[in-house]
Structure 1
Amino acid sequence: MKIRLAMYEALKAINVPEPKIESVIQAMETALHPSPAFKPDSDMTQFRATLSQLEVSLTMNIGVMLFLAVAILFAAVAFIH
């Protein structure tokens, strides 16, 4: 709201007609605050894709570590007997 008032006062100070002031303010608000319905958030999509890749990578790493731990345990048991 403060930005809208400041823009109005600045445009009024340079003698812009009233109807044009409103048009300029609406255009600026639209440009500054685009609707999420019209513009998909590509950063969020990229973040989710990266997060998904990380999840797969972590799952694979945990699986490999678990397999190695069990293999070492079986080798230790076989070596002791």
Structure 2
Amino acid sequence: MKIRLAMYKALKAINVPEQQIEAVIQALDTDRHLSSAVKFDPDIAQFRAELSRFEVSLVIDIGLMLFLMVAILFAGIAFIH
């Protein structure tokens, strides 16, 4: 609440029109609300942790598939010769 009042006084002191002052304060409140929701929302933190685990699993799976493809390629070359 103090930030809103300080922002209002600062903008009023430099002769910003009332409508623009309200728009700036609303934008500031919206931005603050969204950033605090992202920082403190446990669902988002849980989602990020799950996404991180999925990423590690995906990297391991891709590495295993590449290893198997190379092994099959070498086995095929050895079988042909």
Pairwise TM-score range, normalised by the shorter structure: 0.5 to 0.7
Q: Which amino acid aligns with 1:58?
A: L
Q: Deviations over 1:23-67 (max 9, x none)?
A: xxxxxxxxxx8x927x81100000000000000000000000000
Number of equivalenced pairs: 47
In structure 1, list runs of 5 or more residues that go unmatched.
1-32
| 1:1-81 correspondence runs (5 A) | 36=36, 40-81=40-81
Percent of aligned pairs with the same residue? 68
In the alignment, what sits opposite 1:18?
none
Structure with greater helix percent: 2
In structure 2, list runs of 5 or more residues that go unmatched.
1-32
Runs of 4+ aligned residues of structure 1 deviating over 6 Å after TM superposition are: none
- Kindly report the root-mean-square deviation, in angstroms, between the aligned alpha carbons of the 2 structures: 2.2
Cα distance, 1:78 vs structure 2: 0.1
CA distance in 1: counterparts of 2:73 and 2:40, whole angstroms: 50
CA distance in 1: counterparts of 2:62 and 2:36, whole angstroms: 38
Q: TM-score, normalised by structure 2?
A: 0.53
Rg larger for: 1
